[in-house]
Amino acid sequence: MRFSFGLIMTAGALFTAAPSHAQTFDPRYPVCMHVYSGANGGGGEWYDCSFTSLPQCRATALGRSAICDLNPYYPFQEPPRRWRHERSG
């Protein structure tokens, strides 16, 4: 009984610690291309998040059944807020 419990705990720890590669969007690049292969193409559809700009992605997508969009998981920096100082006086 102890051996079974130890084996289950060890296997659970190994599977929990394993890295997951199932994330669709790569957070290192700001632009992704969504490629549609359709039912006749057979390959399904997938995302290619390896582009640094929309023009670069659009040039690659030209002539393919694909669309380029911003990566929702890329950590875009918001522009700093400019405060309006009002003088009293």
Q: Tell me, what's the pLDDT at 40?
A: 64
Confidence class for position 79, pLDDT limits 50, 70, 90 = low
Going by the DSSP 8-state scheme, the letter that residue 60 receives in this structure is: H
* 56: Cα within 13 Å, side-chain hemisphere: 11
Q: What is the pTM of this model?
A: 0.56
Please say if the pLDDT value at position 74 is more than 80: yes
Edge-to-edge strands of the sheet including 66-70? 45-51, 31-36, 66-70
The pLDDT tens digits of the residues spanning 9-67 come to 666 655 554 444 456 788 999 999 999 977 665 678 889 999 999 999 999 999 999 99
